[in-house]
Amino acid sequence: MIDALFAGGPVYTASAPGKLMLFGEHGVVYGRPCLVTSVGLRVSAAVQVHAEPWLTISTAASRATGAPFRVPLAQLGAALRPETAFVEAVAARVLKLAEWQTGLTISTDGPPLSYGLGSSSAVTVATAAGVAAALGLHLNADELFRVCHAAVIDAQGKGSGFDVASAIHGGTIRFENGRATALPSTILPLMIGYSGAKVSTRRFVDGVGRLRERNPILVERMFDLIAELVEQAQQALAQRDWVRLGDLADINQGLLDALGVNTPPLARLVFAAREAGALGAKLSGAGGGDCMFAVAPAPAEHAVKAALASNGQYVDLPLGVPGVSVTCRP
Ligand code: MEV
């Protein structure tokens, strides 16, 4: 959306997708691989350069207060406010990389409910791509990843960066230690269920960290098993072996339960999907709430959708959509 905030002159608008973690959550924080696919829940950032020494930032949260936020360039990135933390953090980093001291107007837009499907990483990537384009700074995918991952760490303190990589590359990728590998595109017979919001991702990542400190041998072995599971899931995806993918989802769900991140609403959705004929189901992401997915090719598809809808919410979004893109209105 290009709103009244922008004066004449070029406006660069970048759009980036959300993500659905497939296999490997939590282990990926400790150097193991994961598989992730992008989802068609896109966030956009429109950016214009101006001559004043401040950033004007308009987000859904700032629009709710009736006015955009204004951050002096000299204070940018110093004290991130919750409503604009990811936008401020990444704008500060891209400006520094470009060695520019210039004002910007940034207006972000996205769906009202993001289901925990990666809207923070999507807004970070869209803002970085929009600001870089507005400054004439060319960033390749690795450079964009590094600047966005650093900004996500500034804003939320922790994170493997798999969600940032997904927003950049789109499609389905394997992610490990900051490196993304694109997997062949295939139509994934997955149904997403939403269990309701959770308190904070950070809380569940920290909880697994504490469990690992108390039980290092067991938790490291679970992470190794999860890594092995990711290898097998990658093969199952390549072979479109949905029965095996379903088994792997069920096994991964058991391991995530053992890590302490399952909840009754997530478990209800998982069992309801299995009972309705899904080949397997697991929570997706940090746990504690948000989403799960079921492996449900035809003919189970309709019964599984209905089971998810009656035990939480069925989330109908396309998977494996393209990554970040930028357009310019001259
Ligand atoms: C959260 O969606 C996935 C985790 O693995 C955290 C991360 O990778 O940043 C739990």
58, 3 in Cβ contact below 8 A?
A: yes
Q: Which residue has the tokens 């494996």?
A: 320
283 ligand 1 Cβ < 6 A: no
Cα(177)–Cα(189) distance, integer angstroms: 28
Ligand 1: residue of 29, 121, 152 to mutate (most ligand atoms within 8 A of CB) is: 29
Cα(211)–Cα(15) distance, integer angstroms: 37
In the sheet that holds 291-295, the strands lie side by side as: 280-283, 291-295, 190-194, 313-315
Ligand 1: residue of 22, 23, 28 to mutate (most ligand atoms within 8 A of CB) is: 28
Q: Which of 109, 163, 247, 290 is catalytic?
A: 163
Q: What is the position in ligand 1's atom list of the atom closest to the CA of 29?
A: 8
Tell me what pLDDT residue 172 has: 98
CB atoms within 10 A of CB 112: 5
Residue 247 annotated among the catalytic residues of the structure: no
CB atoms within 10 A of CB 30: 16
Tell me what pLDDT residue 330 has: 86
Tell me what pLDDT residue 201 has: 85
166 ligand 1 Cβ < 6 A: no
276 ligand 1 Cβ < 6 A: no
**10-residue stretch averages of pLDDT, the chain, 330 residues long:** 75 98 98 98 96 90 81 87 91 93 93 90 98 96 98 93 98 98 94 89 94 98 98 98 98 98 97 98 96 96 97 97 95
Q: Residue 2 phi/psi, 5° resolution?
A: -100, 110
| Maximal CA-CA distance, the chain | 61
Tell me what pLDDT residue 2 has: 52
77 ligand 1 Cβ < 6 A: no
Neighbouring-strand partners of residue 107 = 46, 58
Tell me what pLDDT residue 60 has: 84
Q: Tell me the CA–centroid distance for residue 80 and ligand 1, in Å.
A: 22
Tell me what pLDDT residue 3 has: 67
Q: Tell me the CA–centroid distance for residue 145 and ligand 1, in Å.
A: 16
Cα(79)–Cα(96) distance, integer angstroms: 16
* Contact partners, residue 108, CB within 8 Å, separation at least 6: 43, 44, 45, 46, 57, 58, 59, 60, 87, 123, 126, 127
Tell me what pLDDT residue 64 has: 80
27 exposed, middle or buried (CB, 10 Å; 0-12, 13-18, 19+)? Answer: buried
Beta strands 291-295 and 280-283: pairing type?
antiparallel
Per DSSP, the three-state class of 196 is: coil
Q: What is the position in ligand 1's atom list of the atom closest to the CA of 25?
A: 5
